[in-house]
């Protein structure tokens, strides 16, 4: 039956460790718990070994106590690393390496080959029955190793001047605990092993040392509130947040309410959370929105839900309410957190931004309108700069600029083109007889008649007075002659009101024509001179037409 009791003890111990390690506590809590369990193992099984006279049971209990002692070194080493803020040393990749000496010692204790670690000789006196073999010193060696490394770390931390006062206090606590543990361990080694014959009975110095060290450590930790600092910091952080936080368990019992939430909602820790009671604290629309949020929460418990409320508090406040589930490691709901975030300033900023954007859009529209007006004005100015104000055809400056660029392209690619120069016959007589206004009407009407015959690609310009020039691109000699005849005939048939009764005025034109279909590349060296030469040839043909009686076309003989 003793094995059944022992099995139940182990089962209860494992369950206790599981519940504590899986609860929401700090890592330092868990590390100290494991160390404390190691502390307990030695006196527990030492006591158990003295409650039986069976050699096999005594050996089992003593081995179990030495098993706990083997874990003392690594447990203490890990604890002081966490206590002194050096937990970064404990990584998964390093933990196994750091634990190798302790694992070797545990293996030696459990295996105990041929009693080379521990034996019990019933034939000797009671105080001398416990025999330690050569493998016993493996356990002692690994304990000394862990305690030595721990001592080096603590001394190093003590000598650093950049540590905080609280950190130095923790290091000092661990250092004193280490000295206490080492003192009692060495005392037990000498008293109960080397000089056991000089004492009447076994003295449990290690048990006393473990209890004393644990008492001192627990007292120092409680006094300095080492275990509480995380909770204190978390509470301070929650209370200093600008967002209201309400935490509930799976039964809707309120577990935490921060300071921001308390003025908004009249709720206390331990109250049962009732959505209807919460909604009743607000006016109609806000209450309906909150109830709709909690209704959606019941139908979709795994989702994070959000709603924005306009709370009619003086002044009106805008708040974003979020409801989110709290899940455990297995994705099960263990509670819910409700947050209220005041977004009034953000909402006012958004509204102000929208107002500014509207003003900006209005100014942009006005700017676009101004740009369009400037564009139209520039187009008008550009048109005025290149056209004749009376007749609307292009002026001399534009024609010469256009011809200079066109001639270069025509010569380079061998494209034929033609030029007309014509003026109205006896135009001075019309001005003298009918007046300049009628003369202007004759000019405009003649331009309209000529434009009706020309192609869209042809360029008509007023060269000055009653003289006009026409540039005909992609036009050879035969085509130019045909168009010239049509222009002459159309002008001759055009009738302009004289302004005197129902009389009309008919005019004729004299024209000089030049066509270029043979090109000299050397003319590209000075296209302006070449253009002046062409214009001079056309002008000479025009004067020849006037000299020969007017109302005729003369083709240039020099081109």
Predicted confidence at residue 420, as pLDDT, reads 94
Q: What is the pTM of this model?
A: 0.45
User: What range defines the domain where residue 277 resides?
Assistant: 242-342
Are residues 270 and 250 in contact, defined by beta-carbon separation less than 8 angstroms?
no
Residues 214 and 250 placed together within one structural domain of the fold = no
Residues 399 and 448 in one domain: yes
109 and 205 in a common domain: yes
Confidence at residue 96, expressed as pLDDT on a 0 to 100 scale: 79
CATH number of the domain that residue 192 is part of: 1.20.1070
| CA–CA separation, 227 and 541 (whole Å) | 115
Residue 320 has a pLDDT of: 80
210 and 279 in one domain? no
Q: What is the per-residue pLDDT for 2? A: 45
**Per-residue confidence (pLDDT) for residue 137, from 0 to 100:** 85
**DSSP states of 414-462 as a string?**
T--EEEEEEEETTHHHHHHHH-HHHHHHHHHHHHHHHHHHS-TT-EEEE
User: Quick one: pLDDT at residue 31?
Assistant: 74
Q: Residue 477: beta bridge partners?
A: none
Whether residue 494 is contained in a domain is answered as yes
**What pairs with residue 272 in β-bridges?**
253
Return the SS3 of 493.
helix
**230 exposure class (CB count in 10 Å sphere: 0-12, 13-18, 19+):** middle
- Whether the CA torsion 51, 53, 54, 58 is positive or negative: it is positive
CA–CA gap between residue 400 and residue 446 (Å, rounded): 22
Is residue 80 a part of any domain in this protein? yes
C-alpha span between 333 and 149 (Å, rounded)? 45
Q: What are the pLDDT tens digits along the chain (559 aa)?
A: 345 445 554 555 565 565 455 545 566 667 777 777 777 777 778 778 777 778 888 888 888 888 888 888 888 788 777 776 666 666 666 777 888 888 888 888 888 888 888 888 777 766 667 777 888 888 888 888 888 888 888 888 777 776 666 677 777 887 888 888 788 777 777 766 666 556 556 677 777 777 777 777 777 766 665 555 555 556 666 666 667 787 887 778 887 777 777 666 667 777 777 777 777 777 777 778 878 888 888 888 888 888 877 766 556 677 788 888 888 777 888 888 888 877 777 777 877 888 888 889 989 988 999 998 899 988 888 888 889 989 999 999 898 888 988 989 998 999 999 999 999 999 999 888 888 899 999 999 999 999 999 999 999 999 888 999 999 999 999 999 999 999 999 999 999 888 777 788 999 999 999 999 888 888 888 888 999 999 999 999 999 999 999 999 999 865 4
What radius of gyration, in Å, describes the C-alpha atoms of the chain?
55
d(CA 144, CA 157): 20
DSSP 119-142: EE-TTS-GGG-EEE-TTHHHHHHH
SS3 223: helix
Per DSSP, 114 falls in state G
Whether residues 332 and 416 share a domain: the answer is no
Residue 6 lies in a domain: no
Nearest to 551 by CA among 450, 456, 423, 446: 423
400 & 534 share domain: yes
Domain shared by 320 and 399, yes or no: no
Please say whether the beta carbons of 254 and 269 come within 8 A: yes
Are residues 419 and 538 in contact, defined by beta-carbon separation less than 8 angstroms? yes
Q: How many domains does the chain have?
A: 3
φ/ψ bin of 435: left (φ > 0), alpha (ψ from -120 to 50), beta (otherwise): left
The single residue listed with the structure tokens 């691109």 is 473
Tokens describing residue 239? 């209370």
Q: Are residues 73 and 170 in the same domain?
A: yes
| Token pair listed for 18 | 């599981």
What pLDDT is attached to residue 275? 78
Contacts with 347 (C-beta within 8 Å, 6 or more apart), sequence order: 318
pLDDT of residue 559: 44
What CATH code is carried by the domain that includes residue 540? 3.30.70.270
The contacts of residue 477 (CB under 8 Å, 6+ apart) are: 416, 418, 515, 517, 555
Answer yes or no: is 319 within a domain.
yes
Distance CA 247, CA 270 (A): 11
Half-sphere exposure of 108 (CA within 13 A, CB side): 24
- The pLDDT value given to residue 11: 58
Grouping H, G, I as helix, E, B as strand and the rest as coil, residue 322 is strand
């Amino acid at each position: 039956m003793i094995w059944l009791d022992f099995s139940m003890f182990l089962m209860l111990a494992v369950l206790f460790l599981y519940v504590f390690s899986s609860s929401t506590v700090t890592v330092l809590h868990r590390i100290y718990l494991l160390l404390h369990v190691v502390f307990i193992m030695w006196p527990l099984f030492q006591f158990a070994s003295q409650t039986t006279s069976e050699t096999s049971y005594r050996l089992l209990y003593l081995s179990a106590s030495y098993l706990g002692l083997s874990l003392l070194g690594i447990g203490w080493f890990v604890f002081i690393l966490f206590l002194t803020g050096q937990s970064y040393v404990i990584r998964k990749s390093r933990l196994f390496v750091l634990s190798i000496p302790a694992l070797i010692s545990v293996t030696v204790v459990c295996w105990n080959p041929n009693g080379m670690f521990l034996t019990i000789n019933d034939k000797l006196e009671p105080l001398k029955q416990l025999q330690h073999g050569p493998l016993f010193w493996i356990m002692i060696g690994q304990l000394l190793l862990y305690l030595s490394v721990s001592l080096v770390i603590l001394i190093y931390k003590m000598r650093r001047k950049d540590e905080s006062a609280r950190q130095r206090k923790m290091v000092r606590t661990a250092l004193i605990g280490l000295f206490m543990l080492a003192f009692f361990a060495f005392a037990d080694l000498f008293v109960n092993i080397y000089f056991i014959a000089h004492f009447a009975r076994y003295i449990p110095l290690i048990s006393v040392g473990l209890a004393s060290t644990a008492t001192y450590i627990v007292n120092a930790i409680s006094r300095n509130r080492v275990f509480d600092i995380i909770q204190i910091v978390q509470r301070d952080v929650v209370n200093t947040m600008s967002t209201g936080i309400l935490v509930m368990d799976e039964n809707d019992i309120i577990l935490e309410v921060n300071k921001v939430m308390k003025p908004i909602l009249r709720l206390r820790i331990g109250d049962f959370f009732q959505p209807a009671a919460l909604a009743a604290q607000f006016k109609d629309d806000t209450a309906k929105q909150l109830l709709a949020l909690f209704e959606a929460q019941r139908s979709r418990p795994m989702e994070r839900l959000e709603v924005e409320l306009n709370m009619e508090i003086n002044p009106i406040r805008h708040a974003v309410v979020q409801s989110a589930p709290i899940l455990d490691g297995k994705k099960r709901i263990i509670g819910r957190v409700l947050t209220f975030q005041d977004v009034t300033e953000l909402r006012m900023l958004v509204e102000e931004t929208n107002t500014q954007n509207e003003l900006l859009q209005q100014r942009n529209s006005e700017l676009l309108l101004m740009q369009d007006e400037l564009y139209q004005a520039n187009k008008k100015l550009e048109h005025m700069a290149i056209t004749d104000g009376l007749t609307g055809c292009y002026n001399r400056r534009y024609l010469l600029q256009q011809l200079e660029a066109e001639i270069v392209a025509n010569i380079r690619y061998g494209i034929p083109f033609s030029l007309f120069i014509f003026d109205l016959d006896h135009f001075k007589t019309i001005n003298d007889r009918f007046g300049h206004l009628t003369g202007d009407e004759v000019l405009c009407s003649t331009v309209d008649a000529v434009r009706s015959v020309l192609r869209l690609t042809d360029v008509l310009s007023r060269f000055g007075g009653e003289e006009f020039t026409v540039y005909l691109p992609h036009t050879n000699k035969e085509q130019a002659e045909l168009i010239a005849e049509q222009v002459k005939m159309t002008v001759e048939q055009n009738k302009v009101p004289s302004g005197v009764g129902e009389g009309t005025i008919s005019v004729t034109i004299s024209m000089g024509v030049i066509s270029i279909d043979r090109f000299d590349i050397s003319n590209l060296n000075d296209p302006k001179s070449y253009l002046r030469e062409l214009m001079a040839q056309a002008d000479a043909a025009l004067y020849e037409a006037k000299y020969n009686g007017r109302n005729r076309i003369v083709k240039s003989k020099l081109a």
